[in-house]
Structure formats: structure tokens, C-alpha cells
């Protein structure tokens, strides 16, 4: 066995000695394979160009991402997602930092409960999806200058136009109505 290799992968080596499983990949192709005890044979490592070894546990997806040069983040509640390459919390609170943000500040999004809200910088709610109007949902239909809006029930979208309950069309400018519905409209 190679001392330098074991120093580099001490946590992985200790995990294996405790009966844990490992994964390895060759060169930079990042195709991951299950590893056995023989992985520590230097001749095997040299001949097969094994470049990365990671622990195969509930964090394996994130360990592999780190080895591939990606950033791991943890949700710090109201403080949002922060880079956090340590695996000492529940798996469900981790993510691989996305290449492009899924949502922009100001986008209307919904959680599992379906209640829409505007996405803010560092919003850290898990399970978000982009809001899309649903039939009979109360919405604000804005004019093209975003100066005036009408509240109405959404009926349908067709070819980029949105229709509301009185049959009129309003193009593109729609957002959820989150206030109480006025009595004259209810």
C-alpha cells in the first residue's frame, strides 16, 4: 500500500476499514465504480489511472460532485444556500450548486402547498416550482406598461396570451393575486 495515497484518502481508508463501501473513477470521465479492498494496491492505481476515491454512503452523490469540482451547498434557513463541503447534517438539506439559478429574483414560485410568493435573493425553500396560473385562480392581469391591473379568475393560456373570466385577453402580464378577493368580485 502507498502511504501518500492513504494520507490523501485517510477518511475513505478508515471508512473502508470499518466495513464501509467506496467508489472510484478513472481519469476525468467521472464514471463511478464500486471499489473493493484491492483499490489500495498502488500498481492497480497506477495502471488503471484511478483519479478519485469517495465514500459510498448517503452523501455519495455530493462526495462525487465535490470530486468532480462542483460546489456543495447547505440550506441555512433564512440566510439561504451557502457553500458547505462538510457532511454533518441531514442529506435533505444539501444540494449541488446549480450552474444557472433555477429562479430569478422577482419570479413567482410555489411550494408544495401551492401558495405563490415572489422569489427573493437567497430564498431557501426546498421543493419550489415556477408558478403557473391554474383555472379559476385569482390573478392580476396587468396592462403592457404595468401601470394598471384588473383582478379576475384565470381561464386559460393560449399562444402566449392569458384569458380571464370576462373573456378578455391580456398578453404576458399576469401574476397571482395574493390579497383578499374583493366582495364585488367574489
Supply the pLDDT for residue 182. Answer: 73
- For residue 172, being part of any structural domain is answered with yes
- For residue 20, being part of any structural domain is answered with yes
Residue span of the structural domain in which 31 resides: 3-57
pTM strictly above 0.85 = no
pLDDT per 10-residue tile (average), the chain, 186 residues: 70 84 79 73 58 89 92 88 90 88 85 84 77 86 79 76 64 80 73
- pLDDT, averaged across the chain: 80
- For residue 87, being part of any structural domain is answered with no
Supply the pLDDT for residue 65. Answer: 93
Which residue in the block uniquely carries the three cell numbers 419570479? 107
Q: Which among 41, 57, 73 is the end of a domain? A: 57
- For residue 131, being part of any structural domain is answered with no
Q: Which among 57, 78, 94 is the end of a domain? A: 57
Q: How many domains is the chain partitioned into structurally?
A: 2
Q: Which among 57, 73, 103 is the end of a domain? A: 57
User: What single-letter DSSP state applies at residue 180?
Assistant: P
2: which 3 cell numbers? Answer: 502507498
- For residue 186, being part of any structural domain is answered with no
H helix runs in 9-92, sequence order: 10-17, 42-48, 60-67
Amino acid at each position: 500500500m502507498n502511504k501518500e495515497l492513504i494520507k490523501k484518502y485517510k477518511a475513505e481508508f478508515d471508512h473502508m476499514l470499518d466495513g464501509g463501501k467506496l467508489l472510484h473513477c478513472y481519469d476525468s470521465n467521472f464514471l463511478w465504480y464500486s471499489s473493493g479492498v484491492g483499490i489500495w494496491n498502488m500498481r492497480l492505481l497506477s495502471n488503471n489511472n484511478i483519479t478519485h476515491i469517495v465514500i459510498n454512503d448517503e452523501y455519495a452523490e455530493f462526495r462525487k460532485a465535490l470530486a468532480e469540482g462542483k460546489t456543495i451547498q447547505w440550506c441555512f434557513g433564512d440566510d439561504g444556500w451557502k457553500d458547505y463541503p462538510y457532511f454533518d447534517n441531514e442529506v435533505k438539506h444539501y444540494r449541488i450548486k446549480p450552474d444557472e439559478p433555477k429562479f430569478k429574483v422577482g419570479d413567482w414560485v410555489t411550494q408544495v402547498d401551492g401558495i405563490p410568493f415572489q422569489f427573493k435573493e437567497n430564498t431557501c425553500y426546498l421543493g419550489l416550482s415556477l408558478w403557473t396560473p391554474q383555472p379559476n385562480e385569482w390573478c392580476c392581469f396587468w396592462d403592457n406598461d404595468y401601470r394598471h391591473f384588473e383582478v379576475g379568475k384565470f381561464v386559460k393560456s393560449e399562444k402566449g396570451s392569458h384569458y380571464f373570466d370576462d373573456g378578455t385577453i391580456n398578453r404576458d402580464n399576469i401574476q397571482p393575486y395574493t390579497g383578499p378577493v374583493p366582495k364585488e368580485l367574489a
